[in-house]
Amino acid sequence: MSNYHIKHLEEYYKVYRKSVREPEIFWEEIAEEHFSWHKKWDKVLEWDFTKPEIKWFQGAKLNITENCIDRHLRTKGDKTAILFEPNDPNEKAEHISYKQLYERVNQFANVLKDQGIKKGDRVCIYLPMIPELAIALLACARIGAIHSVVFAGFSATALSTRINDSDCRIVITSDGSYRGAKTIDLKGIVDDALVDCPGVKTCLVAKRIHSKITMKEGRDKWLQPLLDNASKNCEPEIMDAEDPLFILYTSGSTGKPKGMVHTTAGYMVYTAYTFKNVFNYKDNDVYWCTADIGWITGHSYIVYGPLANGATTVMFEGVPSYPDFGRFWAIINKHNVNQFYTAPTAIRALAKQSLDLVNQHDLSSLKVLGSVGEPINEEAWHWYNDNIGQKKSPIIDSWWQTETGGIMISPLPYVTPTIPTYATLPLPGIQPCLMNEDALEIKGNQVEGRLCIKYPWPSIARTIWGNHKRYKDTYFSAYDKMYFTGDGALRDAVGYYRITGRVDDVVIVSGHNLGTAPIEDAINEHPAVAESAIVGFPHDIKGNALYGYVILKDVGTDRNHDNLRKEINQIITEHIGPIAKLDKIQFTSGLPKTRSGKIMRRILRKIARNDTKDLGDTSTLLNPEVVQEIMDNALR
């Protein structure tokens, strides 16, 4: 018998020990008892972190949509699978039952097939948070196509880069999207992107805002009429356990985004298991994760994890500030939400508003509060705990990454005693460790180091699309036979983990993972810019904000600096998206560099965070004089 649902702390420790002692038996039992397979595996796990190669449930045959939809039809056909809450609170919420989801996914799958899409083809999805988005993912999975969702806040350039990197044949988008009181011309962005994407032959367009858009003859097609004519039955493609399910891009320390590849069986088993335990989901609960499906949180914990458990999952189209800053609380009240999962940046923004906006709403349905995406600071934790959970709902500070596919370190509600700012304990199957600068493991408790994982878990990303070497270099080369997360962490006296933040050139801004290199690449395109360096610095609401040091080509030019700042942010918006804009831009005559020409970011970080008492060792600097200039002109 598997321990699918852990109910108390002793049981957690027992299950955890088993998952370390006998990982294959542990996962095999869960896979065996809680999913439907066309054929079971020949081998549970095969792995080698030096290659690296990881295979779970080899030989097994399945389709993930049968696990997320078909198998619930008999007992839960009329249960709401997806509860869609529109941007406009006066527009009716839509309850999509499992039976309706089945029909709509199959229709969409048939439309894709009619467009010539088959198993293994890549499908780019660039949609707002409307039901078609979740349905499009599942439709791809139904026919074995690999979805690549691009968050609909990314710019045309970012979109075309991603489309071309994975050679997508087709793009699914909408005429536009609602965002609070504004509308966004999504189709216009897609049109701009597709100028650079010769491989895309078809663009399917959902109607959402009924705006006037241009449809390119032969390429663009309205989605709805095609769906209306499609059959509601579509035989699922039988997939191998290790067939890719999706690609999702995440930014890294160097220019190009990394297309993380997740495969079918392991991802399904792990997201389902962690959803059940981390949210303590019970059959009639209403679960809401506020993330966008354009990020991994939405893939794993709006779509696949909840649906694999036959849950009701809320999809919210809008923003926390519209029509007012009480919108989240109004939705919890309206739909009697039981589990609520959001990001610290949202909590901090909402904590700044009047408490009346909270107290107007009945939040008594809540049982579990989740937090994800960045460290949650103590103040935000207490505000969330006191005012939203009313001290009754445990806060689940869940640490994970796009690359890990599912939650890795997290309390289990009503099981693990929580401490503010601690992600607490590894989930069953996860073997974290801390490494020091000499690449040695730091044993014992009350220690701090770089967070690595020693042993594979089912939903680890298997490669970077088209670049296995980069996958190896990024995650498996810093430490021998370990997956390196890029985060620092400390382990306290009882073995709880606290994530302290990134130790590489990635900055988490408002919960968004931003590599500084791609932003620097964008800025350097500006004709007046010679060189630039970007670092993060602490920000009240966003967690971190970006600080740019920019060398202009023509020092002493009389160009207006404020205009240049605007132009630089405009370029960033065009290349990446508005989320990557810089809060501060300092023009400088030079950047601190080592003799080998490397920018010493450590110093720039300290100056940006106004922590210049001790700059550390600067003896290897080629141009120490520039440090004083930068400090003198630092922006506060």
Closest CA to 320 of 331, 311, 309, 310: 331
> Which residue lies nearer to ligand WT7 by CB, 150 or 203?
150
- Name the minimum Å distance from CB 249 to ligand WT7: 10
C-beta of residue 544 within 8 angstroms of C-beta of residue 564:
no
**Distance in angstroms (rounded) separating the CA atoms of residues 150 and 174:** 13
> For residues 63 and 402, which CB has a smaller minimum distance to ligand WT7 in the complex?
402
Smallest separation, CB 305 to ligand WT7 (Å): 12
CA distance 620 to 611: 20
Taking the complex as a whole, the smallest distance from the CB of residue 374 to ligand WT7 amounts, in Å, to 5
Cα within 13 Å of Cα(183), Cβ side? 11
Percentages (nearest 5) of helix, strand, coil residues in the chain: 30, 25, 45
Beta carbon nearer to ligand WT7, 121 or 374: 374
Least distance CB 588 / ligand WT7 (angstroms): 28
Please report which residue ranges of 54-130 form alpha helices under DSSP H.
Answer: 64-68, 73-76, 98-114
- Evaluated on CA atoms 195, 197, 198, 199, the torsion sign reads negative
When the beta carbons of 400 and 549 are compared against ligand WT7, the nearer one is 400
* Strand arrangement, sheet containing 463-464: 220-222, 202-206, 170-174, 122-125, 146-149, 244-250, 258-263, 463-464
Minimum gap (Å) between residue 544 Cβ and ligand WT7: 10
Residue 147 is inside which H or E element, if any?
Answer: strand 146-149
Q: Is 95 or 470 the residue whose CB approaches ligand WT7 more closely?
A: 470
* Minimum separation from the CB atom of position 193 to ligand WT7 (A): 22
E strands within 492-618? 497-502, 506-509, 512-515, 529-539, 543-552, 584-587
Contacts of residue 510, Cβ cutoff 8 Å, sequence gap at least 6:
343, 345, 541, 542, 543, 579
- Cβ-based nearer residue to ligand WT7, 131 or 486: 486
Which is nearer to ligand WT7, 176 or 536 (by Cβ)? Answer: 536
Between 220 and 292, CB nearer to ligand WT7: 292
Q: Which is nearer to ligand WT7, 161 or 371 (CB)?
A: 371
Instruction: Take residue 262 and report the two structure tokens written for it.
Output: 């997740």
Q: How near is the Cβ of 289 to ligand WT7 at its closest, in Å?
A: 11
Shortest Å distance, C-beta 423 to ligand WT7: 5
Measured from the CB atom, the residue of 296 and 517 that comes closer to ligand WT7 is 296
Q: Which residues pair with 424 in a beta bridge?
A: 497
Of the pair 28, 505, the CB lying nearest ligand WT7 is at 505
Number of H helices, E strands in the chain: 21, 31
CA dihedral 46, 50, 52, 56 (to 10 degrees): 20
Q: Which of 405, 592 has the CB closer to ligand WT7?
A: 405
Residues facing residue 549 across a β-bridge: 533, 586
Closest CB to ligand WT7 among residues 160, 401: 401
Of the two residues 236 and 413, which places its CB atom closer to ligand WT7 in the complex?
413
SS3 487: strand
Helix (H) or strand (E) holding 162: helix 156-165
Concatenating the DSSP letter of every residue in 166-181 gives TT-SEEEEES-EEETT
Tokens of 336: 């009697």
- Largest Cα span, the chain: 75
- CA 52 – CA 373 distance, rounded (Å): 26
Q: How far is the CB of 363 from ligand WT7 (least distance, A)?
A: 22
Kindly state the smallest distance separating residue 26's Cβ from ligand WT7, in Å.
23
Residue 15 Cβ vs ligand WT7, minimum distance, rounded to whole Å: 22
Q: How far is the CB of 437 from ligand WT7 (least distance, A)?
A: 19
Q: Would you say 395 or 585 has its CB closer to ligand WT7?
A: 395
Closest distance of CB 373 from ligand WT7, Å: 4
Rounded to the nearest whole angstrom, what is the least distance from the CB of residue 150 to ligand WT7 in the complex?
Answer: 14
DSSP per-residue codes, 212-269: -----TTTEEEHHHHHHTS-S--PPPPEETTSEEEEEEE--SSSSPEEEEEEHHHHHH
- 376 within 8 A of 397, measured Cβ to Cβ: yes
Amino acid, single-letter form, for residue 539: H
3-state SS assignment for residue 338: coil
Q: Determine how many CB atoms are found less than 10 A away from the CB of residue 465.
A: 24
Positions touching ligand WT7 (CB under 6 A) are 250, 296-297, 372-375, 397-402, 423, 485-487, 499, 502, 508, 513
Could you tell me the smallest distance in angstroms from the CB atom of residue 527 to ligand WT7?
Answer: 32
Kindly list the distances between the CA atom of residue 139 and the CA atoms of 71, 106, 245, in Å, as whole numbers in the listed order.
Answer: 16, 6, 11
Residue 241 or 514 having the CB closest to ligand WT7: 514
Q: How far is the CB of 162 from ligand WT7 (least distance, A)?
A: 15
